[in-house]
Amino acid sequence: MAFHLRHNGKAVLALHAAHDEAAQARRVGAICGAGFLEQAMPIEVERNGLRLWGWVGLPTFSRSQADMQYFFVNGRAVRDKLVAHAVRQAYRDVLFNGRHPTFVLFLEVDPVAVDVNVHPTKHEVRFRDGRMVHDFLYGTLHRSLADVRPEDHLAQADPAQPQAARPGGAQAGSSARRVR
């Protein structure tokens, strides 16, 4: 689906349909800025009927306010206390106090397992098994963040340094990891 925003007759934002991963990343970059994509890692995990995919910002790309946090459940944008707690807990050991993580995450779950009619504006949801969803989100994000090595991102930040080969063919400086 494409999205075009006009204000006073001027195009403010034009997002073209995203049919592949590269197009999705371009859309995220258009909303969050190229800096976010440079300092985020893609994530995609499916387990126990839950699928989480999107981008999580590195701890070094934290914000002073929670203004770059986008979470979708089955395509619907939500602000949920259970989700917020799971994300905060996952970042707890890697963020300074008063800093907020950045993310664009999509959770896909069986529609029967989530109630979207909790709040009149539909911004809150209730999961049938909230503990399972919380543990899935926390565990997935915590493991992803634990795999981040500072030297990977220091090498990326200094293009003058040679890229050393890593076991498995990855380059030191390649920060994009697909977590499975």
Instruction: Kindly tell me if the per-residue pLDDT of 95 is higher than 50.
Output: yes
Instruction: Kindly tell me if the per-residue pLDDT of 139 is higher than 50.
Output: yes
Task: Check whether residue 97 and residue 121 sit in a common domain.
Answer: yes
Mean pLDDT, rounded, for 152-179: 41
Task: Check whether residue 152 and residue 73 sit in a common domain.
Answer: yes
pTM of the model: 0.77
What's the token pair of residue 45?
């995990």
117 Rama class: left (phi>0) / alpha (psi -120 to 50) / beta: alpha
Q: Is 124 helix (H, G, I), strand (E, B) or coil?
A: coil
CATH of the domain at 115: 3.30.230.10
Domain-embedded: residue 115: yes
Cβ atoms of 70 and 38 within 8 Å: the answer is: no
What is the DSSP track for 57-76?
A: E-GGG-BSSS-SEEEEETTE
pLDDT in tens, 38-91: 999 999 999 999 999 999 999 989 998 888 999 999 999 998 899 999 999 999
Domain-embedded: residue 166: no
The predicted structure's pLDDT at residue 70: 94
Task: Check whether residue 65 and residue 142 sit in a common domain.
Answer: yes
Task: Check whether residue 12 and residue 61 sit in a common domain.
Answer: no
Task: Check whether residue 43 and residue 16 sit in a common domain.
Answer: no
Domain-embedded: residue 50: yes
What's the token pair of residue 33?
């800025």
The predicted structure's pLDDT at residue 92: 92
Find the domain containing 13 and state its range: 1-32
Task: Check whether residue 8 and residue 96 sit in a common domain.
Answer: no
Cβ atoms of 138 and 89 within 8 Å: the answer is: yes
Q: State how many domains the chain has.
A: 2
Tokens 């800093």 -> residue: 99
Domain-embedded: residue 113: yes
Choice between 171 and 58, residue whose per-residue pLDDT is larger: 58
Domain-embedded: residue 62: yes
Beta bridge partners of 63: 100
Domain-embedded: residue 175: no
Tokens 């049919």 -> residue: 19
Q: How confident is the model at residue 173 (pLDDT cuts 50, 70, 90)?
A: very low
Mean pLDDT, rounded, for 115-129: 80
Task: Check whether residue 28 and residue 60 sit in a common domain.
Answer: no
Domain-embedded: residue 138: yes
Task: Check whether residue 77 and residue 10 sit in a common domain.
Answer: no
Choice between 140 and 152, residue whose per-residue pLDDT is larger: 140
The predicted structure's pLDDT at residue 177: 40
The predicted structure's pLDDT at residue 100: 94
The predicted structure's pLDDT at residue 167: 32
Domain-embedded: residue 55: yes
